[in-house]
Copies of this chain bind each other. A is one copy, B any other.
Amino acid sequence: MVDAEGGIVAMRRVATSGDGPEAVVAQIGALVAAVRRPGAAAIGIGVPGAIDAAAGLVLNIPALPGWGGFPLVEQVGRSTGLSALIENDAKAAALGEFRAGAGRGVQNVAYVTIGTGIGGGMIVDGRLLRGAGGLAGEVGHTHVTDSPEICACGRTGCWQAVASGTALGRDARNALGTRPDSEIARVAGDAPVTAVHVAAAGRLGDPLARELLRRFAQLIGMGLANVQHCYSPELIVLGGGVSMFLDLLQADIEAALRAGLLPGFRPARIVPAALGDDSGIVGAAMLAREALPNA
């Protein structure tokens, strides 16, 4: 439940059911009942896939089978009695940062979330880009390298395959094969090594962690130069798990961004998401509010 200024008034979280769209509609109904306050007017939903916003349809959710063509807006409206709206989840997060977060007052904002994967939502000339299927801004799967790492999508060359948190964890596990004495292994203990352990070891000054983080930052910066060439933002807002240790990466990201830009481009400022994990919640709510006939 979000107020007019983008403040979160009440919140519940559940793991999305894998039992198909009807089960998720039931989950949404229960969540709405739990957080609803008097005056609630509309529901905004971020969808991790392709949508037809005007028709209120989910077209495709890569991580969840059975959603093709599902009329989510109609079903949620029927179950809750409120008008509903859907938006791609990264676009909703971008809108949240633009309206109520780090991008307030800036006309060109690139929101890039780097965690398990890489996603994006772009504000250009003061407007959220949607494109066909609401899929504009899918920068994580742009081809940026000839490197052979397999992406979650099954292809090679994707920015996400080399510059996501998943990629950093994988690179660390590979490197530990020949350098098992690194602090990264000690920090992880019995757990499988992930990006979080690399960051923790980097804070302790571990040389291998520092090398991995430097290379990781360079790959992020290279991709952000692509983002800047594509959308020409003044500001890049970074969300996702990696933004939690942006301080360790920022100088190297900025150097790679500068090196990657054509003359004529001024490097965009790079800042972490102000709303953290909640950018998408706030953005979806603001979109739903703005779409109301009398808002």
Contacts and interface: CB of A to CB of B under 8 A. Distances in A.
Interface of A: 49-50, 59-60, 62, 107-108, 124-125, 127, 129-139, 141-147, 153, 155, 222-223, 225-226, 229-234, 260, 262-266, 268
Contacts of A132: 107-108, 232-234, 266, 268
Given A145-B146, A232-B131, A60 B124 contact: no
Contacts of A135: 229, 232, 264-265
A137 B136 CA distance: 13
18 contacts: A62-B263, A124-B129, A124-B130, A127-B127, A129-B231, A132-B232, A132-B233, A134-B232, A137-B230, A142-B226, A143-B222, A143-B223, A143-B260, A145-B146, A146-B146, A146-B147, A153-B263, A230-B230
Contact of A143 (B59, B125, B226, B264): B226
A55 to B, nearest CB: 14
A62 B262 contact: yes
A110 to B, nearest CB: 9
A131 B145 contact: no
Nearest to A106: B132
A29 to B, nearest CB: 27
Contacts of A263: 60, 62, 153
- Nearest first, the 8 A-B pairs at minimum CB distance are A131-B232, A60-B264, A135-B232, A50-B264, A136-B232, A142-B226, A138-B229, A146-B146
A289 B153 CA distance: 45
A40 to B, nearest CB: 29
A139 B139 CA distance: 13
Contact of A229 (B129, B139, B146, B222): B139
A268 B253 CA distance: 33
A144 B141 contact: no
Contact of A138 (B137, B142, B230): B230
B108 A229 contact: no
A120 to B, nearest CB: 9
Contacts of A124: 124, 129-131, 136
A162 to B, nearest CB: 11
A139 B144 CA distance: 12
A191 to B, nearest CB: 31
Chain B CB within 10 Å — which of A134, A234, A260 has the most? A260
B142 A142 contact: yes
A258 to B, nearest CB: 12
A143 B146 CA distance: 11
